Amino acid sequence: MSDIIQLLPDHVANQIAAGEVVQRPASVVKELLENAIDAGAETITLLLKDAGKTLIQVIDDGKGMSTTDARLCFERHATSKIKEAQDLFNLNTKGFRGEALASIAAIAHVELKTKQATEDVGTCVKIEGSTVVSQEVVNSAKGTSIAVKNLFYNIPARRNFLKSDTVETRHIIDEFQRVALAHPAIAFILHHNGNEVYHLKSSNLRKRIVGIFGGKTNEKLVPIEEHTDILTIKGFVAKPEFAKKKRGEQFFFVNDRFIKSSYLNHAVVNAFEGLLDNNAHPSYFLYLQVPPNSIDINIHPTKTEIKFDNEKNVYAILRATVKHSLGQYNVAPVLDFNRDATLDTPYDFKDKQTVSTPKIIVDPTFNPFKTESGTINHNSNSRSGVLNKNSNPPQNYKKDTGSWEALYADIQPIEPVKQEQLFDVEKENETGKTFQIQKKYILSSIKSGVVLIHQSLAHQRILYEEFLHNITVQEASSQQLLFPVSISFTKSDIEMIYSIKSDLESTGFVFNEFTKEGVVIGGIPTSITESQITLILEQLLDDIKLEVPDASFSHFDIMAKSFAKSLAIKTGTSLTVKEQENLVNNLFSCKEPNTSPFGKATFKTLPLSEIDSIFNK
């Protein structure tokens, strides 16, 4: 039998390795920015075209590379960061695998220009698909400039799996923000299609956060700082009133490296216990410094997951630190055992005569069921054995003995409780065809049985088809606002809104101005109110960031789904019978009433036979 195992060609092996390191343009941005930081750069510029699909260029003023290093850096497992296995447990740099440039060069056209400060001229290396096209001497500035063009040009299947430019740009900005937040002392500049998105000067941590997320972020931040033998924690958490419905501004950095950790996130959320609304997520920017030998960052190709030697201690210290800062800055309530002086008796009151207690006369022989006549007095106003001293006693009351000869001669009979009052059924539903259950479901009777409708999901389907029809078929109608509304967003969100500006205008939005801090809206669709503008736009941005839906022909579908999700009635909303019937009728008038815009079932039919089987068991 012939042998079937063989070694893969180098170019195929490089493309397979590239699939682990380079998943999308944002992966290239992350690797190149980290290389520039390791080179000791003070200013780093990132240039993009078409969300990185056409061009990703990183320019730094670091120490540069020699002619030999410029050629050798594109070989697999070539690195200056480590020399032996033991170095993996004492890492102080970003990249160390030596796979990034080799993987990038395997799936793109790469041009590298670099020069050291001690050299008169630099080196230019051009590579296409792991093949060196040219290497020559050039005149360049100190540092390194690396341009990655036509990403995935030789793997069209991977290129087709990339999302829209808006989504890919969002991922790039996320990576850019993470690197920029980890190194506030380095200046960062970002240009996309010739437009400047960020220009961050060298500053401290607080100014860097404000520079990325806008000026209004400053008032939200609560400083965090703690020094222990195990770790050092510093950074900021946002005040509870600024918590968000989505997990957005949550950043953990360990030794200046961004990480993702649900375990540490749980510690922070636990510190906010009792301060957050349901389904609200706190924002935080937390920086942890630990001994390099106490963590392992070599467990994932993207190096965003790490393992701690003593993670339980880290959890406890982090939770206690956040909780202490919230109390220290009067964000969280604290127990105060000091005596409240306002509860003391005033000195000028202690010698005054005590106020007398009002006297109440009670008849011990009072019998409410004793009657002297067979008639019933339906106009009796008092039914108590307690006589107020200011009330007028009846004529047969003897003042000298304080007894009653006849009190309340007539007793009004107690009316029996009606059986229908024993059940908590709304009177509106007594004549209606629908019933609302737990303010969440609507039960309606049909010929074959009953149908149970999820009111929120059903309303989402109704609104989705309505919005989609208004956007694509009818000409959108807009209502002008008497006073334009200014809404604050981060620079990346403003860039995203601007990229879909024409689509939003087709739905009825009117944008008066785009500023560095936000947008000014002068008109909105007639189907929404002024108070819903921020909610709708934030929901739309979240859906685009989360790539909902994954396969969308245009932003119209995303917008219709986001609008429907934002404006649909929520669970817990009480509906009148008329509103319930309208919801049922409108649902079954839809083209696809069976599912919500996100694929969830809107109703369930229970045939009479299925109901009978419940009681015939």
Q: Which fold has domain 212-328?
A: Ribosomal Protein S5; domain 2 (3.30.230)
pLDDT in the model for residue 384: 43
Query: How sure is the predictor about 14, in pLDDT bands with cuts at 50, 70 and 90?
Result: low
Cα 188 to Cα 58, 256, 317, 549, 567: the distances in Å are 10, 16, 32, 32, 39
Residue listed under structure tokens 């195929």: 12
Query: How sure is the predictor about 204, in pLDDT bands with cuts at 50, 70 and 90?
Result: very high
Distance, in Å, from the CA atom of 60 to the CA atom of 75, rounded to the nearest integer, reads 21
Please work out, in degrees rounded to the nearest 5, the angle formed at the alpha carbon of residue 615 by the alpha carbons of 613 and 617.
70
How does DSSP assign 254-295, residue by residue?
Answer: ETTEEE--HHHHHHHHHHTTTTS-TT-B--EEEEEE--GGGE
CATH of domain 10-200: 3.30.565.10
Rounded average pLDDT over 220-244: 89
Rounded average pLDDT over 361-380: 63
pLDDT in the model for residue 389: 46
Percentage of residues in the chain with pLDDT exceeding 90?
Answer: 25
pLDDT in the model for residue 337: 45
pLDDT in the model for residue 395: 53
More confident residue, 442 or 433: 442
In this predicted structure, the answer to whether residue 394 has a pLDDT above a threshold of 90 is no
Q: What is the pLDDT of residues 142-158, one digit of tens each?
A: 999 999 999 988 888 88
Question: Both tokens of residue 173?
Answer: 């900005």
Query: How sure is the predictor about 447, in pLDDT bands with cuts at 50, 70 and 90?
Result: confident
119-155 burial code (b ≥16 CB/10 A, e <16): beebbbbbbbbbeeeeeeeeebebbbbbbbbebbebb
pLDDT in the model for residue 97: 54
In this predicted structure, the answer to whether residue 431 has a pLDDT above a threshold of 80 is no
Q: What is the pLDDT of residues 260-319, one digit of tens each?
A: 888 898 999 889 888 887 778 889 999 999 888 888 776 666 667 787 888 888 999 999
Whether this prediction's pTM lies above 0.75 is answered by: no
More confident residue, 144 or 546: 144
Of 480, 546, 489, give the one whose Cα is nearest residue 511.
480
Phi and psi at 523, nearest 5°, equal -155, 150
pLDDT in the model for residue 459: 93
Provide CB contacts within 8 A for 368, sequence distance 6+.
383, 385, 408, 411
In this predicted structure, the answer to whether residue 553 has a pLDDT above a threshold of 60 is no
Q: What is the pLDDT of residues 323-337, one digit of tens each?
A: 988 887 766 554 444
In this predicted structure, the answer to whether residue 546 has a pLDDT above a threshold of 80 is no
Please work out, in degrees rounded to the nearest 5, the angle formed at the alpha carbon of residue 383 by the alpha carbons of 379 and 385.
145
pLDDT in the model for residue 375: 47
In this predicted structure, the answer to whether residue 419 has a pLDDT above a threshold of 50 is no
How does DSSP assign 513-555, residue by residue?
Answer: EE-SSEEEEEEEETTS-GGGHHHHHHHHHHHHHTTSSSS-SSH
Whole-number average pLDDT of the chain? 79
Query: How sure is the predictor about 87, in pLDDT bands with cuts at 50, 70 and 90?
Result: low
More confident residue, 338 or 109: 109
Distance, in Å, from the CA atom of 155 to the CA atom of 108, rounded to the nearest integer, reads 9
pLDDT in the model for residue 478: 80
Rounded average pLDDT over 333-358: 52
Of 580, 604, 617, 616, give the one whose Cα is nearest residue 450.
604
In this predicted structure, the answer to whether residue 551 has a pLDDT above a threshold of 60 is no
Percentage of residues in the chain with pLDDT exceeding 70?
Answer: 76
pLDDT in the model for residue 299: 61
More confident residue, 458 or 353: 458
Check if 212-328 and 436-604 are the same fold.
no
Q: What is the pLDDT of residues 121-142, one digit of tens each?
A: 999 999 998 888 999 999 888 9
In this predicted structure, the answer to whether residue 54 has a pLDDT above a threshold of 90 is yes
**386 half-sphere exposure, CB direction, 13 A CA radius:** 4
Taking the domains of the chain in order of start, what are their residue ranges?
A: 10-200, 212-328, 358-412, 436-604
Rounded average pLDDT over 568-596: 89
In this predicted structure, the answer to whether residue 550 has a pLDDT above a threshold of 80 is no
Distance, in Å, from the CA atom of 227 to the CA atom of 178, rounded to the nearest integer, reads 24
Say which range, 207-221, 235-249, 306-320, 594-608, has the weakest mean pLDDT. Answer: 235-249
Question: Both tokens of residue 222?
Answer: 């609560």
Q: How far is residue 170 CA from its own chain's centroid?
A: 15
436-604, which class in CATH? Answer: alpha beta
Are the CB atoms for 478 and 510 separated by under 8 Å?
Answer: yes
What is the edge-to-edge ordering of all strands in the sheet holding 518-525?
Answer: 478-488, 518-525, 510-514
In this predicted structure, the answer to whether residue 56 has a pLDDT above a threshold of 90 is yes
